Amino acid sequence: MAATARAGALWLLGQVLAEGRLLSELTGTAQHLRLDPAERARAQRLALETLRGLEKADRVVKPYLRKMPPLAVRNVLRLATVELCQGGDAHGVVNEAVAHVRRGKRTAAYGGMVNAVLRKVALEGPAKWAELRVPHLPKWLRQPLAEAWGGATVAAMEAVHFAGVPLDLTVKSDSREWAARLGGALLPTGSVRLTAPGQVSALPGFGSGDWWVQDAAAALPVRGLGEVAGLSVLDMCAAPGGKTLQLAAGGADVTALDISEGRLARVHENLARTGLSAAVVTADALAFAGGPFDAVVLDAPCSATGTIRRHPDLPLVQRGEAIAGLIELQAALLDHALTLLKPGGRLLYCTCSLLPDEGECQIEGARARHEGLRVMPGAFDLPGVAPDWRSDEGGLRLRPDYWAERGGMDGFYMACLTRG
């Protein structure tokens, strides 16, 4: 099992680091699905841990290399180094790494080198690993984040990114009971957090649809709408559907809209599993003319820089070139969303971005463009929301370093808007 999982992890690393593909694009591919569920989960975990520790692994290995080997060999060294420095069995890790390299036509000649390097890493690597700094974000992202939040805050975010991520659940009802049943912790905002969940689909309550996976930060925007029973609500960019499920569980008449039919398949699956209902529509949100609605939830497409603790591949694949276009799209979606509201209706805008241009600045821009548009700061007077999470324009700014002692949270921005 371990060998197959390691081979699967190396394939994932190759796709991310050589082909520039995101892990989220790879988990449904035929190559990945050849592994059984337990092996797939282990392969993903190994790949994630390696990507989080990439900078450290390279620094540990570098003194033992006379010249840089091909990427495929470097990835074997990286994966094995992360395992060895985190307490993996040296015999199994080294032998499997060498065997993997020797099986490849283009890498077979590096078998002896890999064996020699990893034997040294097994002896000296853990001590070096412990001395090295927490891996830094790439410069294209670290610099604007430091300008926005300060260097010390960015360092705190990086520490949370490197620590890995627990699993958060949103529960249909009785979060306290489910926290106890699953051996988790009930977070101040109402989410349930598990630190070592194992295979998600094997957990009690998954098959019966009593809960769904959703980061605690991602669960807060919809809670800002308060009681939604009987309200017509448009979830404007709905996939993968966490907010749709929250709204449906609250008794809203939900329309789940997304441009991607493939991504909406997840929404259909989750609705079926949880026994909840929503009208699911595949359409371009900018051209959608339904409604009017009592409320619109716009979780706008964004850089997703707030999700790096769960997606360490993201800053390695992206380089920031698309952000300007995303900012334009967010403004256009925000403007259009306002046309879909009933008089007195509410627009909940949010992004899983750490960049103010995709959050606070969007709200300031929208208010300048639309006379009478105002922020409703009281929307987020919610249990567990700390005063220093609030932003100057009336929204809520969440960062990974919040709740660091509990495992952090995703970076998110949210604001509730209305006219008049």
* Enzyme catalytic residues: 352
Nearest 5 degrees, angle CA 337-CA 335-CA 333? 65
Q: At residue 76, what are phi and psi to the nearest 5 degrees?
A: -60, -45
Burial class (CB in 10 A: 0-12, 13-18, 19+), 165: buried
Please name the residue that has the structure tokens 């790494």. Answer: 97
Structure token pair of residue 275: 């026994």
Contacts of residue 33, Cβ cutoff 8 Å, sequence gap at least 6: 40
| Residue owning tokens 């789940």 | 256
Q: How many CA atoms lie within 13 A of 396 on its CB side?
A: 32
> Hey, which residues does 233 pair with through a beta bridge?
254, 295
Of the candidates 354, 257, 235, 238, which has an alpha carbon nearest to the alpha carbon of residue 303? 354
Q: Is 304 exposed, middle or buried (0-12, 13-18, 19+ CB in 10 A)?
A: buried
The span from the CA of 352 to the CA of 334, in Å, is 15
Sign of the CA dihedral running 304, 305, 311, 312: positive
Q: What share of the chain is helix, strand, coil (3-state, %, to 5)?
A: 55, 15, 35
Six-digit token string for 395: 């929204």
The type of residue at 90 is: A
Q: Are 410 and 354 in contact (CB under 8 A)?
A: no
